[in-house]
């Protein structure tokens, strides 16, 4: 019952903890931009706190680095139980431009489970607010995977089973034409 109550009240006022695990500071500036009076996120009850023990949400910026992965994991484990992790920026979502460096482990989801992704390099302050609004449930997400498929092949198909040798040549017997 207490857990249900916690979950119910969770979305009302998110206290965020801002964890940079090796980013370039671009996303940090955008997150601080979100807290300014222009994009005042305190109207959603979002407040920046200094310790992960006070926080409900961890905003991860930067990839999981070899040197900071353990500290990031400890910060995640220090947060009290209903907790969310936001990966902000291209580094936290996918490893960043230097994803193949020896010092970079990859996206932060290799170290901590990520709930929401906000891609961009850096994401606009509006994009971060949009991500928070998706998480709180104010708006619906706009993206969906796109796939283009070839429904039919415009050439005659052949199968290797229908080939046979004829003297010097190899003759293909059956011609499957899908458009007919």
Residues that bind another protein (CB under 8 A): 37-40, 43, 90-91, 93-97, 99-100, 107, 109, 115-121, 123-124, 126-131, 133-135, 138-139, 141-150, 153-156, 158, 160, 163, 165, 169-173, 175
- Min dist CB 13 to another protein, Å, is 17
Compare residues 1 and 144 and give the one whose CB is closer to another protein: 144
Compare residues 50 and 165 and give the one whose CB is closer to another protein: 165
Q: Is the dihedral of CA 134, 21, 96, 48 positive or negative?
A: positive
3-state DSSP call for residue 44?
helix
- Min dist CB 1 to another protein, Å, is 27
The DSSP code for 11 is T
The DSSP code for 30 is H
CB-based contact 158:176 (threshold 8 Å): yes
- Min dist CB 23 to another protein, Å, is 12
Compare residues 102 and 148 and give the one whose CB is closer to another protein: 148
Compare residues 78 and 134 and give the one whose CB is closer to another protein: 134
- Start-to-end Cα distance in the chain: 64
The two three-digit tokens of residue 34, written as one number:
């979100």
- Min dist CB 4 to another protein, Å, is 21
The C-alpha atoms of residue 120 and residue 45 are separated, in whole angstroms, by 24
Run of H or E residues at 3: helix 2-10
- Residue 126: CB atoms within 10 Å: 13
- Min dist CB 87 to another protein, Å, is 8
Pairing state between β 57-61 and 84-88: parallel
Compare residues 77 and 172 and give the one whose CB is closer to another protein: 172
């Amino acid at each position: 019952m207490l857990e249900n109550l916690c979950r119910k009240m969770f979305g009302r006022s998110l206290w965020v903890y801002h964890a940079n695990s090796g980013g370039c500071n671009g996303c940090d500036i955008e997150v601080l931009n979100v807290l300014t009076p222009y994009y005042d996120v305190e109207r959603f009850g979002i407040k920046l706190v200094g310790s992960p023990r006070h926080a409900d949400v961890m905003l991860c910026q930067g990839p999981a680095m070899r040197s900071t992965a353990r500290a990031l994991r400890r910060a995640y484990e220090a947060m009290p139980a209903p907790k969310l992790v936001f990966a902000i920026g291209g580094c936290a979502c996918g490893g960043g431009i230097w994803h193949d460096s020896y010092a970079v482990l990859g996206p932060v989801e290799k170290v901590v489970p990520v709930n929401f992704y906000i891609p961009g390099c850096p994401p606009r302050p509006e994009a971060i607010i949009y991500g928070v609004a998706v998480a709180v449930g104010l708006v619906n997400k706009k993206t969906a995977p796109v796939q283009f498929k070839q429904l039919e092949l415009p050439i005659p198909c052949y199968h290797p089973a229908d080939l046979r040798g004829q003297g010097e040549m190899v003759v293909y017997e059956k011609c499957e034409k899908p458009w007919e």
